[in-house]
Amino acid sequence: MAKVAIGAGHGVHTPGKRTPAGEREWSFNNKVVTAAVRHLKKYGIDVLRLDDPTGKTDVPLTTRTNKANNWGADILISYHHNANNGRWGNWGGTETYYYPGASTGLALAKAIHPSIVGVMGLRDRGIKTANLHMVRESRMPAILIEGGFMDSTIDIKVMRDDDNLEQAGKALADAIAGYFGIRGQAKPSKPSKRASKSISKMADEVIAGKHGNGHDARRKSLGITQAEYDKVRKEVNRRSGIKTASKPKGKSIAKMAQEVIDGKHGNGHANRRKSLGVSSSVYNKVKKEVNRRLTGKSAVYSKPKSFSVGQKVTVKKSASKFATGESIASFVKGNSYTVKQVKSDRVLLDGIMSWVRKKDVY
């Protein structure tokens, strides 16, 4: 019988591990893990839970890996939710870690990561390596999943819907069963890809015009019930409401920093500060955040810069070659273009229809 050791990261009282609104990381992790355990058992898989299911104790990492090793688990899954800087921002996505060089960890990650991405409907940050205790000290193939960002205004909407966390747990169990080649024990009624899309993702698509015009046509294109469509519509309206209601004052540091990076406030600190209409002390915070974002310093892991389709970016003056090797013409440098497509290390820019490395744009 397949043996799976699985744990929700941290405990409910672990300091720091919470959203900017105070919700606990363990609670999100626990909902996914609890659902996964239930579904794994339906497959007849033996499960050992590594964290305290009441959340009261943050079981030390060494205790967790010792438990899994002594029990002789076949695989280990550690489930977490990510954080960037603990303040709300528009970063986000799902990522999965394995120990550097561990090919069995990579194979496990490949078997599971796409399912979690599919259910959460968030940005796919990919499969990565990191020297983390849970994947290093376990003797079996091990992965650590970060379902979404607790300080992401995008991800938190998905994470706050218990149904999404339940679906992530089920998807995790299904993928684990698939990894072991086990079939059939769980209920065969797998939700269709469309039905499992989050409200947030469907709203994105509607805003992006992927489902045409007219409510009935959109609902059919999305393949959802009227009740679900009403939720999507509400979310679409809510988002457009936020955009038109945003006042220049009271903007978050993160938002102002992004605008500065996007070039919306011109050049020179004095000009930018005036354009933003903020005090010097507030502007200094914005400046710090801009530098942090541009250099990637003080991030938890060194994360690649994130770009999204539709975003305007500027080609750095220092850039010399396109991602495909050709030289970048001088008129392109310093010019701004809209991102048409995003790949791991490059973006496709509209207008010039060329791939430029992420490090060469800002």
CB-nearer residue toward Zn ion: 149 or 283: 149
Are 64 and 179 within 8 A, CB to CB? no
Calpha distance 81→89 (Å, rounded): 15
To Zn ion, the closest distance from the beta carbon of 78 in angstroms equals 9
Element containing residue 329 per DSSP (H, E): none
CB-nearer residue toward Zn ion: 10 or 39: 10
CB-nearer residue toward Zn ion: 131 or 318: 131
Are 148 and 92 within 8 A, CB to CB? yes
Which residue of this chain has its Cβ atom nearest to Zn ion in the complex? 80
Do the bridges between strand 94-98 and strand 75-82 make them parallel or antiparallel, or are there none, so unpaired?
unpaired
Q: How many CA atoms lie within 13 A of 142 on its CB side?
A: 26
To Zn ion, the closest distance from the beta carbon of 83 in angstroms equals 8
CB-nearer residue toward Zn ion: 80 or 273: 80
To Zn ion, the closest distance from the beta carbon of 146 in angstroms equals 7
To Zn ion, the closest distance from the beta carbon of 149 in angstroms equals 11
To Zn ion, the closest distance from the beta carbon of 295 in angstroms equals 24
Query: What residues line the site for Zn ion (CB under 5 A)?
Result: 9, 80
To Zn ion, the closest distance from the beta carbon of 38 in angstroms equals 22
Nearest CA among 122, 164, 128 for reference residue 143: 128
Which are the contacts of 314, defined by CB distance < 8 A and separation ≥ 6?
263, 334, 335, 336, 337, 361, 362
To Zn ion, the closest distance from the beta carbon of 36 in angstroms equals 16
Which are the contacts of 184, defined by CB distance < 8 A and separation ≥ 6?
none
- One-letter amino acid at 80 equals H
The three-point CA angle 251-157-50 to 5° equals: 120
Residue with structure tokens 């440098």?
Answer: 333
CB-nearer residue toward Zn ion: 88 or 97: 97
The three-point CA angle 293-128-120 to 5° equals: 80
CB-nearer residue toward Zn ion: 80 or 219: 80
Calpha distance 180→28 (Å, rounded): 26
CB-nearer residue toward Zn ion: 80 or 358: 80
CB-nearer residue toward Zn ion: 9 or 93: 9
Strand ranges of the sheet holding 312-314, from the earlier edge strand across to the other edge: 312-314, 336-342, 346-349, 354-357
Do the bridges between strand 46-49 and strand 75-82 make them parallel or antiparallel, or are there none, so unpaired?
unpaired
Which are the contacts of 100, defined by CB distance < 8 A and separation ≥ 6?
129, 130, 131
CB-nearer residue toward Zn ion: 89 or 147: 147
CB-nearer residue toward Zn ion: 146 or 174: 146
Element containing residue 200 per DSSP (H, E): helix 199-207
- One-letter amino acid at 160 equals R
SS3 52: coil
Are 315 and 356 within 8 A, CB to CB? yes
To Zn ion, the closest distance from the beta carbon of 293 in angstroms equals 22
To Zn ion, the closest distance from the beta carbon of 122 in angstroms equals 16
To Zn ion, the closest distance from the beta carbon of 108 in angstroms equals 19
